[in-house]
Structures are given as C-alpha cells and as structure tokens.
Amino acid sequence: MVIKMIRVENLWKSYGEKKVLQGIFFEAEKGKISCIIGPNGSGKTTLLKILNLLETPDKGEVYYNNICLTELNDNGKRFYIKKMAMVFQQPVLYNSNVFDNVAIGLRIRGLRKNEVTDQVNDILKTLGLYEYRDKHAYTLSGGEAQRVCLARALVLKPEILLLDEPTSNLDPSNTQIIENVIKEYCREEGPIVILTTHNMFEAKKLAEKVSLLYNGKIIEEGDVKNFFERPKSDITLKFVNGEIIF
C-alpha cells in the first residue's frame, strides 16, 4: 500500500533578488504532525504557500501520493487545493459574521444548506465559538479570530492541514485550546498536518517530526526526540541550547 504523503523535491523560490528557498527536500506523512521550525524570514510561509499551490516555485515539484501537483492545470490544481486547508499566519476574516466566516469553504464546495449548518455548528462548539456565531467577525479578539480561522479549515476535514504559526501571538489559554483541537483532529481523522513555528516548546509539544529551516535550506530533520536530544548540526545544537533565539 502506498503511504499517503506530500513531498517536495528540490524547491527553489526567489522574490526579486531575494533567494527565499534554495533547494528544499521535504516530506510529510499521513497521521503525523510535521513541524517546520525556523527564524523569521527563513521561508516557512513561502514553503506552506507553495504546498497549498498558491505560489509557484521557480524550480522543483510538489507531489501528493506520487502525483505531481505543480504541473497540473488550474482545474487539476483546484481539485487538490480542495483536499487541503491552510490557516494563515495572520488571521483572515471576511466581512460577515462568525458563522459565514466558517461556512465559506463548505459553500464553495457546494454543500446543502442544512449540511453546512450542522457541520459549522459542530466545529464552532468544538472551538468554543458557538456563542459568537452571529457576531461580526471584525469585532473579535485576536485569539477568537485565530480560532475562527482554524474552524474554517477544520470544518472541511482536509487530508492535508497546513498551519502557519497557529499559536504565535496567543495567550496560554487560547494556545492550549488550539493545540488540543489540532491533536484531537489528527487522532480522529489521521490527516497530514504540517505546522510552522519559531517556538521550540510548541514543536516539542505537538510534533512527531521536526525540520529546521534556515536560510532557505532544511538544515536538519528528524523525529522530535532525536532532533532535540541528539542534534547533528551546529546550528540545531545552538538553537536547541537557546543560543539562537527565534
């Protein structure tokens, strides 16, 4: 049996003169939380957007279950985009209430009204947002907004969940809620989860596999225990010892 996984091969991406990704090889497996850790500007967001097929790499390919996604046409890409869901670093809110903000992905998929209502209500309850369902999204706090964005992604039951620093800027209680929901979702649905962070503790708490992205390259990669306890490269060691603080 083929193990479900997403994989990138020799990915290069520049913005103008700035080389952001310089030959990335990376893969993430189903049922595991993979964590990409790296300092500001190291290219984490860029990598996730390429995985989500929102950005095209200058060179290199993205494969999902051995299908090359980057060479598909728009319709083909959209088919696979619909199997993924990404939570962006900065919360994105639509000019409507919480319910509509969470329902939009299901509506794009053409679900019937009562199905949308049921599924959205469920996820709102899971994330402690049910009482806010008629509140305008622009009046939410930062933590509430981030939870709405996670709800919008999870309600789609994606095969691939991409989370761009889902808990940065959040207080411990919001962080706790979000981390628990991510773990729970992973246990129940067994998706591919790729999460970026610059927080070592979050990586330790959530991830099973950790990759260190530094200057556009994956410096080191391994299961969480080895990564933190027996780092191979100097940079990882410095990072784990707290000498480079991200």
* Positions that interact with other proteins (CB under 8 A): 49, 52, 54, 78, 81-82, 84-86, 88, 90, 92, 94-96, 104-105, 108-109, 136, 138-139, 152, 156
- Asked if 45 touches Mg ion (CB under 5 A), the answer is yes
DSSP readout, 118-144? HHHHHHHHHTT-GGGTTSBGGGS-HHH
- Asked if 46 touches ligand ATP (CB under 6 A), the answer is yes
DSSP readout, 28-79? EETT-EEEEE--TTSSHHHHHHHHTTSS--SEEEEEETTEESTTS-HHHHHH
CB of 106 to ligand ATP, least distance (A): 28
Residue 147 contacts by C-beta under 8 Å, 6 or more apart in sequence? Answer: 127, 128, 129, 174, 177, 178
Query: Is the CB of 22 or the CB of 65 nearer to other proteins?
Result: 65
Which residue in the set 1, 40, 134, 241 belongs to the binding site for ligand ATP (CB under 6 A)?
A: 40
Place of tokens 């993205």: 62
- Asked if 44 touches ligand ATP (CB under 6 A), the answer is yes
- Asked if 137 touches ligand ATP (CB under 6 A), the answer is no
CB of 193 to ligand ATP, least distance (A): 17
Residue 246 contacts by C-beta under 8 Å, 6 or more apart in sequence? Answer: 37, 38, 39, 40, 198, 199, 200, 239
Which residue in the set 28, 43, 175, 227 belongs to the binding site for ligand ATP (CB under 6 A)?
A: 43
Centroid of chain to Cα 75: 23
Size of the site for ligand ATP (CB under 6 A): 13
- Asked if 197 touches Mg ion (CB under 5 A), the answer is no
- Asked if 211 touches ligand ATP (CB under 6 A), the answer is no
The one-character DSSP state at 168 is: T
List contacts with Mg ion (CB under 5 A).
Answer: 44-45, 89
